[in-house]
Structures are given as structure tokens and as C-alpha cells.
Amino acid sequence: MARSIRVRLNGTEREVQIEDHVLMLEMLRGLGFLGAKLSCDAEVCGACTVLLDGRPVSACTTLALEAEGRRLETIEGLAQEKKGGAAPPKLHPLQQAFIDNFAFQCGYCTPGMIIAAKSLLDEKPRPTPAEVRHWMEGNICRCTGYQTIVDAVLDAAGASGEPR
């Protein structure tokens, strides 16, 4: 069944036509939001993480219709456009921290990593290293070895990195 849903996508009200069996990731990528990635397709790797009313969910295994009347946030919504539009947008502190800490290599997992980390910092602005590791354990990276990712999240939280 086709239905029309209203969703607040990265702060903008949108009306989207979807069918019941369409997955949230299919809807987002169809709308041109390509940050969330399909990878494991089984809620294991975190590459498709988006926030639904602030909670992280796997867009690969969530129905698009679940976004009806709710707030949906993706990586595309994090950077702030500067007035005038000519200057590059101001990155979110997590995005800047991922660059500063060399927290990605191939970058495929990065949108999911940053979105997952945002939901952590929104709930707990000053997490401990153990809390960062516990929250992020469902996001898989095959390049970095994770330490730089943990460092980046702690950096964005204004905390010093883990002692090495």
C-alpha cells in the first residue's frame, strides 16, 4: 500500500510517498541522502545508522513508515551552512574531531560512526572511554583499529583521549 508520510528530515518538514515494505535506507537513498550506507544488511555493522527521535536505528532494517511524524537525522544534517552559502559549511564538532584524530581511512563506516556518536553525546555529553566503547561496539570499522575513533568521540566531548 502506498502512503504519504510527513517526516522532519534534518530539521526540514517533508512529505514522502512510500510503500509499506520500503526500508528507511531505501527511502533516504532514493531522496538523495547517500551518507547512510548499506553494508551488512543485518543490524550488525552500523554503516546505515540514522537517528529516529534521537535514538540510533539501523536504517537497513527499519521500515520507512516508522519515520511518520517523527524526527529523522542523518549525517547530511550535521554541518551548519554559513550565511550567504559561498563559504564551506561549519562542521559539527564530531566531524571536525574525526578529521583531527585521523578517525577514518576508507570512510565507509564514518557517517554511521558519527551519527552513533552524536546520539551518545546528546544523551551523555561527557562519557567515559568505557562508555564510548560500549556505545560504539555495534559500529564496525575495518580500517582504523578503533582507537582513533574512540579518541575522536572523547575529543568532541571535550575530554582528553585515553592514556596509551
Binding site for another protein (CB under 8 A): 1, 19-23, 26, 41-44, 46, 49, 52, 55-58, 61-63, 65, 116, 119, 134-135, 137-138
Task: Output the smallest distance, CB 70 to another protein, in A.
Answer: 12
**Which residue lies nearer to another protein by CB, 99 or 130?**
130
* Least distance to another protein, CB of residue 29, Å: 12
**Cβ closer to another protein: 140 or 143?**
140
Minimal distance in Å, beta carbon 23 to another protein? 7
52: phi then psi, degrees, rounded to nearest 5: -115, 115
Distance, C-alpha 49 to centroid of its chain: 5
Please give the Cα distance from 51 to 99 (Å, whole number). 22
Residue number with CB closer to another protein (52 or 154): 52
Least gap, CB of 111 to another protein (angstroms):
14
Query: What are the residues facing 90 on neighbouring strands?
Result: 80
Q: How far is CA 119 from the centre of its chain?
A: 8
Output the CA–CA distances (angstroms, integers) from residue 34 to 1, 27, 113, in the order listed.
25, 10, 15
